[in-house]
Amino acid sequence: MAIASILASTHNPFLRLSKPSSPVSRSVVFRRYLKPCGRGWIPRSIRACQPSDKLGGDGAISASAQRFHFGNEFLSFASDNFLPLALVSGVALGFANPTLGCLADKYSFTKISTCGIFIISGLTLRTEAIGAAVKGWPLGVFGLISILLLTPSFSRLIMLVQLQPRELVTGLGIFCCMPTTLSSGVALTHLAGGNAALALAVTVASNLLGILTIPFWVSRYIAGGVGVSFPTDQLFRSLIVTLLIPLIIGKVIRESFKGFANFVDNNRKLFSKINAICLSLVPWIQVSRSRSLLLSVKPKVFLAAVGIGILLHLSLLAFNAVSIRILSGVSGGSKNSKENSTAVLLVSSQVIIEFAFRTDLIS
């Protein structure tokens, strides 16, 4: 009403304030007189409406508007943090009700979700990204060295930790000898804007070569020279089926149907969310399978093991970040170099847990 008062006080002959037709109406009506027609003036009404659900009588925001604003803020936050929320939800669901997770494990949902992630990776893989990945081969080689040669050396330090039960320390030591994650590294690279092609190349190469390096490192650092039983043939076939073939299928579909490729490019956020859902199935199933064992461990011991795992990943992240920065500085920085650096940093700072479950020591 302040604006109406100001306009009314100007005594503008072409603007006249009219009273609302209803005493409860909040509309402010002006009559604007346009060009004369003959001897008279043509009136035109200008109505300024004030929605009753937005502002109260004193100008404050109404409760419904506040709820609407809060809902938009919550949806925006959930969209921006979809992957961590999906992972946390998977872990919480596995602890709350492990029955569904165990049933999903029975029907190999972990392999299905991994296949889905790599099919999506193939669908979203641009050919120019492959060219940029080829140019970033020095970073890719460093990633393989870090994953296959440097990370396993952390297991020697892990084995010095005095923690009971001793199986937790042994598990963490074996964990260090594993290659990079099959799916989360690629998914995080997509979200961070890194070169997905380079992340895929390092992931595939490290997991295939890891079949050969894991028995050596486990025998050297964990088993004290004792032989290690490792299902090499089974793991090799599993990697081909769940990793390489889905990736090739996705890429072939992208190159064969250009219309579908454009649809994928225009809806990358949607496919990123599908990727996150597939990725959240892995912790959900693993926690569901191990719930009884996890609950049997004392909380202090469990938290100590989790803290060691977090410290391990932070150490890997810091070491790889410094090394990649030095290597990028020597080779010269560019846009592609930044994307390649992001991909290698994320992929080389993670280790896979699936292989650790399949490694058995022979005493």
Do 199 and 245 belong together in one domain? yes
Does residue 181 sit in helix, strand or coil?
coil
Do 114 and 252 belong together in one domain? yes
pLDDT tens per residue, range 161-181? 777 777 778 878 887 888 887
Share of the chain above pLDDT 90, in %: 4
Is the pLDDT at 17 greater than 50? The verdict is: no
Is the pLDDT at 322 greater than 60? The verdict is: yes
Q: Is residue 73 part of a domain?
A: no
178: exposed, middle or buried (C-beta count within 10 Å: 0-12, 13-18, 19+)?
buried
Give the pLDDT confidence score for residue 307 in this predicted structure: 85
State if pTM tops 0.75. no
Q: Is residue 71 part of a domain?
A: no
For 125, which DSSP code? -
Q: Is residue 68 part of a domain?
A: no
β partners of residue 229: 360
Q: Is 161 left (phi over 0), alpha (psi -120 to 50) or beta?
A: beta
Give the pLDDT confidence score for residue 58 in this predicted structure: 52
Residue 12's nearest CA partner among 28, 29, 31, 27 is 31
Q: Is residue 332 part of a domain?
A: yes
Is the pLDDT at 36 greater than 80? The verdict is: no
Is the pLDDT at 151 greater than 80? The verdict is: yes
Highest mean pLDDT pick, 22-26, 278-282, 295-299: 278-282
Q: Is 18 left (phi over 0), alpha (psi -120 to 50) or beta?
A: beta
Do 165 and 287 belong together in one domain? yes
Share of the chain above pLDDT 70, in %: 75
Q: Is residue 212 part of a domain?
A: yes
Do 353 and 267 belong together in one domain? yes
Q: How many domains does the structure of the chain reveal?
A: 2
Do 26 and 160 belong together in one domain? no
Do 32 and 168 belong together in one domain? no
pLDDT tens per residue, range 198-241? 888 888 888 888 888 888 888 777 766 445 566 777 878 888 88
Q: Is residue 267 part of a domain?
A: yes
Mean pLDDT of the chain: 75
Is the pLDDT at 61 greater than 70? The verdict is: no
- The residue type found at 14 is F
Q: Is residue 67 part of a domain?
A: no
Do 178 and 275 belong together in one domain? yes
Q: Is residue 11 part of a domain?
A: yes
- The CATH number of the domain holding residue 320 is 1.20.1530.20
Give the pLDDT confidence score for residue 335 in this predicted structure: 53
Do 211 and 112 belong together in one domain? yes
Range 110-130 average pLDDT: 86
Q: Which of 43-47, 174-178, 261-265 has the lowest mean pLDDT?
A: 43-47
Domain that holds residue 9: 2-48
Do 324 and 240 belong together in one domain? yes
Do 109 and 225 belong together in one domain? yes
Do 20 and 135 belong together in one domain? no
Q: Which of 64-78, 99-113, 325-339 has the lowest mean pLDDT?
A: 325-339
Give the pLDDT confidence score for residue 249 in this predicted structure: 93
Do 91 and 15 belong together in one domain? no
